[in-house]
Amino acid sequence: MSVWAVANQKGGVGKTTTTVTMAGLLAQRGQQTLMIDLDPHGSLTTYFGHDPDNIETSVYSLFQNDGGENYEDALCLSTRVENLYLMPASTAMATLDRQLGAREGMGLILARAIQRLAGRFEHVFIDCPPVLGVLMVNALAASDRLLIPVQTEFLALKGLERMLRTLSMILRARKKPLRYTIVPTMFDRRTRASLESLKNLRERHPDEMWRSVIPVDTLFREASRQGVPLNLLNPHARGAIAYANLLDKLLDSANSEIPAAVHS
């Protein structure tokens, strides 16, 4: 099983879109894939037709210790897409930092739950909230690989540097390094902001950057309106093709091509 976290402290950079599309592609290829919504806003949960304000069991339940054996199994809901499952978020998760923040041992709850699901899923994608807190700590402890979507706009680099500082802080507690890949998103080659920010990102992070880009594609919005990953709405959409290329690259290079690692 491989576990991928998708994170950036900056909001609206394409984290949820990256999660849905990458997971949707794997599901379409016949791989049992789980998406975990770790954001109390629950955009991913809403995407697949559930209401994070009125959901009875969610990631929140994992942290309440009220589940008992194999409880996480029941939290994985099927979706309209074959092979694709969702562990939903509830808005109550926003209170977890206050409730558990300083309590010992809270950082590994998600990792343990995912380990118990290892027989069931080949891939797990964790959609992270844009804040540093107990949920983000859990995501980074649970994952083998991190994707950092960065919107190609002015100030992109600034948001990224902040995320990387957070990352190295959190990873101090982790025993093994975490490989990460920066994914430039919403690229529009007609705008100076996109071109310049891409150039800056490449200069600054030549080894950690995926060499291509995810273009702006208005069909992402349509796919989210319909509650399906873009590759299922239209596999020829340029956004779907770009994510398929990213996925192939990452699967291929699982061991070599993108050697970046953050050490404590």
Ligand X SMILES: Nc1ncnc2c1ncn2[C@@H]1O[C@H](COP(=O)(O)OP(=O)(O)OP(=O)(O)O)[C@@H](O)[C@H]1O
208 binds ligand X (CB under 6 A): no
Count Cβ atoms within 10 A of the Cβ of residue 174 and give its class: 0-12 exposed, 13-18 middle, 19 or more buried.
Answer: middle
User: Looking at beta carbons only, is 112 or 145 nearer to ligand X?
Assistant: 145
* Structure tokens belonging to residue 229: 């990953």
Q: Could you give the residue ranges of the DSSP H alpha helices within 36-155?
A: 43-47, 59-64, 71-75, 96-100, 109-116, 134-142
Q: How far is the CB of 262 from ligand X (least distance, A)?
A: 20
Helix H or strand E segment including 244: helix 238-252
125 binds ligand X (CB under 6 A): no
216 binds ligand X (CB under 6 A): yes
Residue 130 contacts residue 98 (beta carbons within 8 Å): no
194 binds ligand X (CB under 6 A): no
Q: Which of 16, 45, 143, 231 binds Mg ion (CB under 5 A)?
A: 16
13 binds ligand X (CB under 6 A): yes
152 binds Mg ion (CB under 5 A): no
Lateral strand order in the sheet of 77-78: 77-78, 84-87, 33-37, 123-127, 2-6, 145-151, 179-185
Interacting positions 48-107 with ligand X (CB under 6 A): none
12 binds ligand X (CB under 6 A): yes
Q: Which residue is nearest to Mg ion (CB)?
A: 16
227 binds ligand X (CB under 6 A): no
Residue 4 contacts residue 123 (beta carbons within 8 Å): yes
Q: Which of 220, 232, 233, 246 binds ligand X (CB under 6 A)?
A: 220
* Structure tokens belonging to residue 23: 């997971």
Interface residues with Mg ion (CB under 5 A) are: 15-16, 43
Interface residues with ligand X (CB under 6 A) are: 11-17, 39, 43, 130, 185-186, 214, 216-217, 220-221, 224, 239
